[in-house]
Each structure stands twice: as C-alpha cells, then as structure tokens.
A and B are shown apart, each in its own frame.
Chain A
Amino acid sequence: MKPAPFAYVRAASIEDAVAALAASDGLAKVIAGGQSLVPMLNFRLVDVPLFVDINGIEGLSGVEETPGGGLRIGALTRHFELEASPLVRDRYPVLHEAMKHVAHLAIRNRGTIGGSLSHADPAAELPAMSVLLDANIAATGPTSKRSIAAQDFFEAPLTTVLAPDEIVTAVELPPLPAGAGWGFEEFSQRRGDFAVAGVAAVVEQDVARIAVFGVHDTPLRAVGAEQAFASGGVDSAVDALRSEIEPSDDLHGSADYRRHLAGVLCKRALEVASKRARA
C-alpha cells in the first residue's frame, strides 16, 4: 500500500495553483490536508500525475467575521480550528457540534474545510453543514472567480461542479436568525466513522432547515421535510424526509435501514432544535 509515483509542486499563491492545474489538461489535483486523498493514493485507487500542494498559500486559512454578521472561513482552515473557534461556537453551535463528529483529532488537525467540500463525500459532516447553513463556496479558476451556493455545489458522490482547474478558496456563512435552535444527530457504528445516517436541523419558530448526510448520493437539503415541518410538524417532516431521500446499500447499512435511521434522527434533531429555539 504505497502510492504510485507522481510529481509534486508547491503553489505559492492561488493563481500559481490554478495555473498549474490548468497546465495539466485536467489531470493534476490539489492536495491540502490529504486526509481523504492519501488513503486513496495508498490503495492506488487514483492515478494522478501531478499534485499541487496549496498548504503554503498565505491567507487561505482562518475564520473571520463578515460585515453582515456571518463568517468567512478560509479553505485551508483545519477542522480543529473550526472546532475550537469561539466565533463558530457562538454563531453556529450546530457547526461546532458537527466538528466533534469529524473523524478524530489527528484527522481534524490536518483536514481542511476546502478539502472536505471538494472531496464531496455524501456521508461527511462538512458538506452537509454547508448545505444546512446556506453557505456560499468561493472558487477561483484560471480566468474567473465565482461564488457557488452550497446547494448547487454537490453533483454526485465525490463529484462537485468545480472545474478541474478550479480551487475552493473560502466558505461564507450567512448569519443564522437570532433565536434559532439547532439539532445535530449522527449515527455510526463506531465513534468517528463516516455516518450511516446524519441529520442536522436549524429551527426558527415554524421554519426548519434540514440537511442530511449518509442517506443520499449527495449531502441534501431536505426541502420536502422542511415544508412538511412548516405545515404538519415533526412527524410530517419525518415522513416527508423518508420519501425524499434515496439512500443506497453498503456494508454499514442497507437503504431501508438508512431510511429508517434518517427519520429517527430527523425527529430527534427537530425536537432538540425546537426546544433550543424556544429557550
């Protein structure tokens, strides 16, 4: 289990990195924390001739407040920085909670938010959080920069709308309404493993945002469940969620079990979130 040979360049700037990607005919890949990528290299599951390391790029890391009361999170911000950030804890307690579920400390010390979103694992926490929190994902390509709504970002398992020569540079989170409650529920058989199913919710009076992971081929905003919650409360939301997701079978759980779990976790998340919202 050793990686196949590849070439490696360190980018000094985003422009540098994008130029290197653009010059490779779409074959080169970005490496940041490497926590999802290097296992694939070790298993020789991916064949990449060139890696562009963006770890050395200045200014890509950190959590800062935005004028509207939201946060801007640099793409190279490590998971542990998010977990430990007082800004995140105070403004997005649901994200603070989610970070504790991301694998383990050693992975969180190294993994980055940009990497997690770009990797787009449908069972991972951060992609689901980006969808839940209506994040805008800033990306830079060779000729332009754009901001992509998280809900438009994920296309399929491990697939995003990013072009091969585009790099995520930051994630912007709009503020949550004051008084919103939150709930985060994740089920895995072993602590720190990818979710068999996960549901996160933000509730403000009758309005709920619900995001699910591990139960669909992308992280998903459960719009049907959100509407059902507004009209019929928690039980309706659960039923709606179970019919709108399309989980698949794998070794850790069948589609039927995942659908069942999604409902259970949705109920729990909404109940906790509603209680917190009232408090």
Chain B
Amino acid sequence: MMDRISISVTVNGTVHTAEVEPRLLLADFVRETLDLTGTHVGCEHGVCGACTILMNGDSVRSCLTLAVQADGAEVETVESLGDAENLGPLQKAFRDHHALQCGFCTPGMLMTATDMLRKYSLETDDDIRDGLSGNICRCTGYQHIVDAVRAARDERDGR
C-alpha cells in the first residue's frame, strides 16, 4: 500500500487527526473513520449530491474530494445543523413542509440549501429549483423541498 499521510481536519468544531491512505475519499473518512454517518454516499461520481458537505464554508461533494485534501480544513456535516431533539431552522422547515421521505438525499439537500441560502438571493422558485438541481431526490418530486427552502429564504430575509 501507498504511504499513509497524516491529516488534521476540524469537523463540526472538533479537531480530528488521522493517518489515511491518499485514496481515501472524504466521504469515507467522515463516515467510516469519524463515524459521522449522517453524510450519505449515493453515487460516488458527483451526480446525486447525497454526500454534499461544507468545506471551509463551501458546499462540496465529499465523494469527489480526497480526505488528504481536507487537511487543515473546517468541515461541516449535517450533524452540525442541529440534533434530533433540537433541530435547526432549515431542518425544521424541511420537517414542517414534509420535504423528505426516505431521508437518504436529505443531508446533502440540507447542506446544499445551507450554502445556497448564503450565496444566492433565491428570488424565485426557479432560482431555488436551479440551486437544488445538483441534488437528486427520488421520493418527493422536489415540490415540498422547494417549499421548505422558500420558507427558509423568507426567514433569512425577514419576510
């Protein structure tokens, strides 16, 4: 095997150091090494978006990022948004609007929506749909997800 490389990654505020193979995907590092299984793996080729996390504040596909590339980075996963007893506002909007069914795409949707809400004004439903278009959901038909993100936008904008 190729030499392992030592990395130090801050995940949801906690610093983790580990020796990893260069080929280890960040998704697997988060799930298998750190046991943060909220991040899901759906395609491993960057299409479905289920594995989306935030790295240094930006949404990224954790299946298209090597763990070694996250050395020194701040990573945020779905677990950072709020726990089951105390959901964050975006999670709550998803619940109120029934924006999830099986829940498998949901962590990626939430992390994508988090980044979208920071970066775009999301004036129209078309803007919201465009922003969500890199995250595939097979259950909801997206309508309730759009509703939830719209509600989160309104909350953001004090509408």
Chain A residues engaging chain B, CB cutoff 8 angstroms: 1-8, 10, 31, 34-35, 38-39, 41-43, 51, 53, 55, 80, 84, 103-107, 109-110, 190-192
Q: A3-B23, A8-B66, A110-B60 are in contact. Are A35 and B44 (CB under 8 A)?
A: no
* Chain A CB within 10 A, most for which of B55, B116, B134: B134
Chain B residues engaging chain A, CB cutoff 8 angstroms: 1-3, 5, 21-23, 25, 28, 44-46, 49, 52, 55, 58-61, 63-66, 68-69, 112, 115-116, 119, 129-131, 133-135
A34/B65 in contact, CB under 8 A? yes
Residues from chain B with Cβ under 8 Å of A104 in the complex: 49, 112, 133-135
* Pick from B22, B23, B61, B129: contact of A106, CB under 8 Å: B61
* Pick from A10, A39, A190: contact of B46, CB under 8 Å: A39
Q: A34-B64, A105-B131, A110-B64 are in contact. Are A7 and B2 (CB under 8 A)?
A: yes
B119/A105 in contact, CB under 8 A? yes
Q: Which residue of chain B lies nearest to A39 when distances are taken between CB atoms in the complex?
A: B45
Q: A105-B59, A106-B60, A106-B115 are in contact. Are A38 and B65 (CB under 8 A)?
A: yes
B1/A43 in contact, CB under 8 A? no
Residues from chain A with Cβ under 8 Å of B46 in the complex: 35, 38-39, 107
Q: A7-B2, A104-B49 are in contact. Are A42 and B134 (CB under 8 A)?
A: no
* Pick from A38, A55, A84: contact of B63, CB under 8 Å: A38
17 A-B pairs besides A38-B63, A42-B25 with CB distance below 8 A are A1-B44, A2-B23, A2-B44, A5-B21, A43-B45, A53-B69, A104-B133, A105-B115, A105-B134, A106-B112, A106-B115, A109-B115, A110-B55, A110-B60, A191-B129, A191-B130, A192-B133
